[in-house]
Chains A and B, each alone.
Chain A
Amino acid sequence: MRKALLAASAAVLLAAGPAAAQQKTIKIGFVSTFSGPTAVIGNDMRNSFELALDHMGRKMGGIPVEVIYEDDGQKPDVGKQKTEKLIESDKVDFIAGYIWSNVLLASLKPIVDSKTFLVIANAGPSQIAGELCSPTVFSTSWNNDQTPQAMGLYMNQKGVKSVFLIGPNYAAGKDMLAGVATTFKGQVVGQELTTWPSQLDFSAELAKAKASGAEAVFVFYPGAAGVQFLNQYAAAGLKGTIPLYTAFTIDELSLPLQKDNAIGVPGAQEWVNDLPNDQNKKFVADYRKKYTGLRPTYYGAQAYDAAQLINSAVVATKGKLDDKDTVQKAMEKADFKSIRGDFKFGNNHVPIQNFYLQDVVKDADGQLSLKTVATIVKANQDQHHDKCPMK
């Protein structure tokens, strides 16, 4: 009895004492959308994150990993609440995930204030790359305007002289449309922002695009809205008459629904399923084996890299996560093999990376799939990093 009491009090002391010792588990909070029409995206991210943990033997640096998945319902207020819960009541070591820029911006303050390490696996609001950058905030995706900037460069290559821009009216939509305009050398003849996420009928916007006389249309509609947009683009008779250029509108989740409407519509992306490095081949093959009938998307690829980034920091610090500076330095090194190939961080903790041109083709199984056609830009850094005070 006395022995047990002693042991118990020793345990309490140990737990409360200065935690120089290794952690018992690595706790990771993962915030994404698991309900509603865009739940398929959240599921893909969770699938990929889980696959990454499988590949690590569900341990990081020999310490078991516990992941708590939280659903933001694509709503900023819910996302913030779930984030606070993860920090205050679950006391997680890392937070990862976030699809939507507006959800992330709402959730950022509690994360930064508590100095919890954040690995953003999709959203890339320009503020976080610039003035709101933070030592504990990292991204395994991109800044919002990089991908449309790449598309703008591609449109220059194609000799497009004028373009009409359409996108949703929220943080990312505004970043995307502003992004194309910075690199596109022709004229932007018009721009439409639509109510997000409720507006799904784009007939009024498409009629305006047609009437504007623009040579091309650029569009950004992630998730199911991308399906609706492409269907309506074809039904309005614009496909084949006005070339369409996209960012984040065609992916492996929307393609089975977009079908032939997506053929011949180019997109820009930092990861495509057929990138030829070994770790990517393993990721895609194991994903398709584990989740039969599904294919990974760039959302999943970014979540997979988020798990790898966290793992690299845990391994480098041997699980001593209390020393925030050391963990930060370890993460800045990005010492892992990204499935997109070379990977390094800029001063603002946003990756400096290539952007590829992707096209829709029929693959060996006769299914529509995405294929890398060309590299549009190499080692591209976002345009906001100067505004970030970190050097």
Chain B
Amino acid sequence: MTLFIEQCLNGLQFGLLLFLLAAGLTLVFGIMDLVNLAHGSLYMIGAYFAATFAAWTGSFVLGAILALLATLLVGMVVEVVVMRRIYGRDHLDHVLATFGLILFFDEAVRLIWGPAGLSLSLPPWLSAPVQILPGVNYSAYRLAVIVVTLAVAGFLYVLVMRTRIGMLIRAGASNREMVGALGVNIKLLYTLVFGLGAALAGLAGLMQAPILTVQIGMGENIVILAFVITVIGGIGSIRGALVAALLVGFIDTLGRAFFPDILRMLLSKEAAATLAPALSSMLIYLLMAVVLVVKPEGLFSAGNK
């Protein structure tokens, strides 16, 4: 039972982290109609900034805050310099341009920080495990990640549903031209939205940094999952992104944890040992396939924001 609780927490933590990535992706995709493959690069940049700033300031929290602001800035610069030029174009052009950005960021990181990767150590108060239930210890840092991401999800909800900027964002998603015609500075709005998406990716990257290492290409695998979540949740829907991210997080973690045991009951030991890792990493994609068949527009389609 304690194992199950622990695995559920792992799933929750992973799911919420994926939500941060997917929220940024779905905002940019839904509102600006822009396919941004380089979202994973912003995740990587966030992690590199955090490792660098934490080393400079000597404080993990301060480093994280500075890294968040820096990634926001990088996002806004990318929007002004690159993205602004390709909005009206075909999705294929977006894919090409943002793939170019991935190569650019990977090479830039190699030039600035070298090929070896960095590490970001946790302060002592986060690195020790804490007791959450009698007899159940859990990583304090992973708990902190859960708290921070839940807070960010709440902040996003308030921002999009309760503020004037949020209203403009929603309006921009439904009818871009009309919002522009009403005298709203749509360019500035887009820069802000893209910057926000970048900051969310950066936050995900810097929070993963102490668990994983900070290295070139660290965003490439995880951004695929973020795309899967965007598709499952419905493009442009933050609520959909949250639900889908949690689904994916739980299925991936619990699948890895318990699927091999289930297979072992059904098959021979050798067959189960070879099949289980392959099959459990496929579960998420099976989920996506099922969702696409049943509800091609995703669980929460964009009209339902």
Contact = CB atoms under 8 A, between A and B. Distances in A.
Interface of A: 36-37, 39-40, 43, 169, 191-195, 198-201, 203-205, 207-208, 210-211, 224, 227-228, 231-232, 234-237, 253, 256-259
Contacts of B3: 207-208, 210-211
Contact of A237 (B14, B128, B215, B276): B128
Nearest to A168: B277
A231 B141 CA distance: 12
A203 B10 contact: yes
B6 interface: yes
- Size class of the contact patch on chain B: 35 or more
B297 to A, nearest CB: 29
B66 interface: no
A341 to B, nearest CB: 30
The SS class assigned to the B binding surface is: helix
B211 A259 contact: no
B260 A43 contact: no
Contacts of B273: 191, 193
B221 A198 contact: yes
Interface string B99-117: 0000000000000000111
Contact of B119 (A232, A235, A257): A257
Given A37-B217, A40-B115, A234-B127, A208 B257 contact: yes
Contact of B253 (A203, A232, A235): A203
Contacts of A205: 256
Contact of A259 (B119, B128, B218, B281): B119
Report, nearest first, the 10 A-B pairs whose CB atoms are least far apart.
A237-B129, A211-B3, A257-B119, A203-B10, A169-B277, A204-B257, A204-B256, A207-B6, A195-B281, A235-B139
Contacts of A40: 115-117
A39 B115 contact: yes
Contacts of B142: 203, 235
B7 A207 contact: yes
B255 to A, nearest CB: 9
Contacts of B184: none
Contact of B2 (A43, A199, A211, A228): A211
Main secondary structure of the interface of A (DSSP, over half): helix
A36 B210 contact: no
B181 interface: no
A40 B213 CA distance: 14
B212 A201 contact: yes
Most chain A beta carbons < 10 A, residue from B115, B213, B257: B213
Contacts of A207: 3, 6-7, 10, 257
A166 B8 CA distance: 21
Contacts of B10: 203-204, 207
Nearest to B114: A40
Nearest to A200: B212
12 contacts: A37-B215, A37-B217, A198-B281, A201-B14, A201-B212, A204-B254, A235-B127, A235-B129, A237-B128, A237-B129, A257-B117, A257-B118
A228 B119 CA distance: 10
A195 B277 contact: yes
A347 B117 CA distance: 41
Interface of B: 2-3, 6-7, 10, 13-14, 115-119, 121-122, 127-129, 137, 139, 141-142, 210-213, 215-218, 221, 253-254, 256-257, 260, 273-274, 276-278, 281
Contacts of A236: 129, 139
A32 B217 CA distance: 18
B7 A204 contact: yes
B211 A228 contact: yes
A259 B121 contact: yes
Contacts of A36: 216-217
Given A194-B256, A194-B277, A228-B211, 10 more contacts: A37-B216, A37-B218, A169-B277, A193-B276, A201-B14, A211-B2, A227-B119, A234-B127, A257-B119, A258-B119
Contacts of A191: 273
B235 to A, nearest CB: 25
A186 B128 CA distance: 30
A199 B253 CA distance: 11
Contacts of B213: 224, 227-228, 231, 257
Contacts of B277: 169, 193-195
Nearest to B208: A201
Contacts of A39: 115
B274 to A, nearest CB: 8
A204 B253 contact: yes
A201 B252 CA distance: 11
B31 to A, nearest CB: 30
Given A195-B277, A237-B129, A231 B217 contact: no
A193 B127 CA distance: 26
A141 B6 CA distance: 40
A235 B215 CA distance: 20
A117 to B, nearest CB: 30
Contacts of A231: 119, 210-213
A328 B211 CA distance: 48
Chain A CB count within 10 A is highest, among B13, B142, B256, B274, for B256
Given A169-B278, A199-B281, A204-B10, A224 B257 contact: no
Contacts of B217: 36-37
A186 to B, nearest CB: 19
Contacts of A198: 221, 281
A259 B122 CA distance: 12
A261 B14 CA distance: 23
A224 B137 CA distance: 26
B151 to A, nearest CB: 21
Nearest to A34: B115
Candidate in A36, A199, A234, A237 with the most chain B CB atoms within 10 angstroms:
A237
A264 B124 CA distance: 19
Contacts of B122: 235
